[in-house]
Copies of this chain bind each other. A is one copy, B any other.
């Protein structure tokens, strides 16, 4: 069956899945069989499928990941997003020769989605088109196919700017955490050192955390305070943005 009978023509989806674990920021990439470059997990939309459901299905099919909160961040719609022989060359190595007007050779506008997960909690596995499905260090990325590097860079820029307006950390840190743990999460994503006192003052001013009566024990230094997120306030800030105040 032709792809155009199953999928919406012209439209695709691509997922930038960032993973955080122990002060490292990674991104989930696939390496398709016969391709030299790596790629973002992506795919197409079924004729009768909501796009926000399609992206969940695509991510699950290509990486095994489910229950991930994915957010639209940008549509990439330049007329030439790839060399027109790009797909042809990959398929040819697989012994597949497609007609010149095959739907895969047409132009696709792609909708970018991103997510941030604790990567030790999830277990990615490659689909049948791919040799690998792996977390790759954000500072040491392989060559990516088509415009996937631009898509990734844009997602990273959006993730960093969202830090300023949206709470982050729930599902990425243990239920009870210390201020230095939270600060390192921010530092890892922003890729820079932050001033300890400014950070603490600012984070506490948002009213999304509560200091617990317990302290963290077992360290060599003075036991640091433990915090947890104030979930009602945290979710309110997710909806309405941090700071409010107008």
Contacts and interface: CB of A to CB of B under 8 A. Distances in A.
Contacts of A107: 8, 47-48
A163 B230 CA distance: 25
A51 interface: yes
Contacts of A77: 45, 50-52, 54, 111
A186 interface: yes
Interface string A57-79: 00000000000000010110111
Contacts of A245: 198, 202
Contacts of A109: 8, 11, 45, 51
Interface residues of A, number: 38
A246 B51 contact: no
Interface of A: 8-11, 45, 47-52, 54, 72, 74-75, 77-79, 107, 109, 111, 161, 163-165, 186, 190, 192, 194, 198-199, 202, 240-241, 243-246
Contact of A72 (B10, B50, B74): B74
A198 B241 CA distance: 18
B246 A164 contact: yes
B78 A50 contact: yes
A198 B109 CA distance: 44
A154 to B, nearest CB: 11
Contacts of A199: 246
Interface centre among A109, A111, A163 (most CB of B within 10 A): A109
Contacts of A246: 163-164, 186, 190, 192, 194, 198-199, 202
A107 B7 CA distance: 11
